[in-house]
Structure 1
Amino acid sequence: MVLSRKQSVVLVFGVFDGLHNGHRFLLGEARKLGNRLIAAVAQDSVVAQIKRRPPVHSLAERIKMLEESRLVDHAVPGDTTLGSWSAVMKWKPNIVALGYDQTELEKELRTFIKKENLPLAIVKIEAHEGNRLHSRFLRTS
């Protein structure tokens, strides 16, 4: 699928609990795919459900960090219910860019796209410096 850069909206999903170089790389690569980049930031309750621990920073703090970084055009709260895909339905992206470690999210999103018959491309962004910059390796206890 060839998309015109003039009309490409790119959506990324993530926790973004502290911005590190891996996040910056992901967002920079996603930015190259279109002219508008939106980040759906995981709700605190969803983070606790997926990772079995609360995020270090609140949803409001994580959104503020992203917006102040200028790495995205918009940072928006993610779904309160896993699998509802409200950001996809609201923002109608041409592309969803996923990180190398978002395999389960990719499977669920592909199922949703097929079910809803959406004209949406998924682009997997490779890891920056392997997975050395994954948040779980950078967190201090």
Structure 2
Amino acid sequence: MEHMVLSRKQSVVLVFGVFDGLHNGHRFLLGEARKLGNRLIAAVAQDSVVAQIKRRPPVHSLAERIKMLEESRLVDHAVPGDTTLGSWSAVMKWKPNIVALGYDQTELEKELRTFIKKENLPLAIVKIEAHEGNRLHSRFLRTS
């Protein structure tokens, strides 16, 4: 993980994800992201976006996934993600200093870097390493 030279008291950290059931990999990601700043916001993928990306709907609804995150107290705020891929409304609304990405969010990272450059945003991207390899990836935890 990269080391950031940002004042912790000023740092808003944003994470993106589906969070369709909280497993230890999610907890690790959110815990590491929390260390990067003092306010952690999770943009939770819309059901329609999940279906578009993963070619199947999420198990839990958007409202259920947001409620799960908020009740876990792993984040300060859980908010609905973009309704349109690539619109980056969460970045524009919350104006984070840092976006923390999971080890498997490579495509998202490429798209975000392009957006940051185009908009000339003062935004750092930190890639969080995998927790226990990729053994805890949610696609490996599902039986169906």
Class of the TM-score when normalised by the shorter of the 2 chains: over 0.9
1:74-130 deviations in Å (ceiling 9; x for gaps) = 000000000000000000000000000000000000000000000000000000000
1:15-69 deviations in Å (ceiling 9; x for gaps) = 0000000000000000000000000000000000000000000000000000000
1:97 pairs with 2:100:
yes
1:20 pairs with 2:23:
yes
Provide the C-alpha distance between the structure 1 equivalents of 2:36 and 2:68, rounded to a whole number of angstroms: 22
Provide the C-alpha distance between the structure 2 equivalents of 1:6 and 1:81, rounded to a whole number of angstroms: 32
Provide the C-alpha distance between the structure 1 equivalents of 2:57 and 2:66, rounded to a whole number of angstroms: 16
What do you get for the CA RMSD once the two structures are aligned? 0.6
Provide the C-alpha distance between the structure 2 equivalents of 1:14 and 1:70, rounded to a whole number of angstroms: 16
State the number of aligned residues. Answer: 141
Which 4+ runs in 1 deviate beyond 6 A?
none
Once the two structures are TM-superposed, the CA of residue 139 in structure 1 deviates from its matched residue by 1.0
Three-state SS of the structure 1 residue aligned to 2:139 is: helix
% identity of equivalent residues: 100
Once the two structures are TM-superposed, the CA of residue 13 in structure 1 deviates from its matched residue by 0.1
Provide the C-alpha distance between the structure 1 equivalents of 2:98 and 2:86, rounded to a whole number of angstroms: 18
Provide the C-alpha distance between the structure 2 equivalents of 1:101 and 1:75, rounded to a whole number of angstroms: 20
Provide the C-alpha distance between the structure 2 equivalents of 1:55 and 1:72, rounded to a whole number of angstroms: 20
Once the two structures are TM-superposed, the CA of residue 2 in structure 1 deviates from its matched residue by 1.6
TM-score, normalised on structure 1?
Answer: 0.99
Once the two structures are TM-superposed, the CA of residue 140 in structure 1 deviates from its matched residue by 2.4
Three-state SS of the structure 1 residue aligned to 2:93 is: helix
Once the two structures are TM-superposed, the CA of residue 133 in structure 1 deviates from its matched residue by 0.3
Provide the C-alpha distance between the structure 1 equivalents of 2:143 and 2:91, rounded to a whole number of angstroms: 33
Provide the C-alpha distance between the structure 2 equivalents of 1:132 and 1:8, rounded to a whole number of angstroms: 30
Provide the C-alpha distance between the structure 2 equivalents of 1:139 and 1:18, rounded to a whole number of angstroms: 10
Provide the C-alpha distance between the structure 2 equivalents of 1:30 and 1:139, rounded to a whole number of angstroms: 25
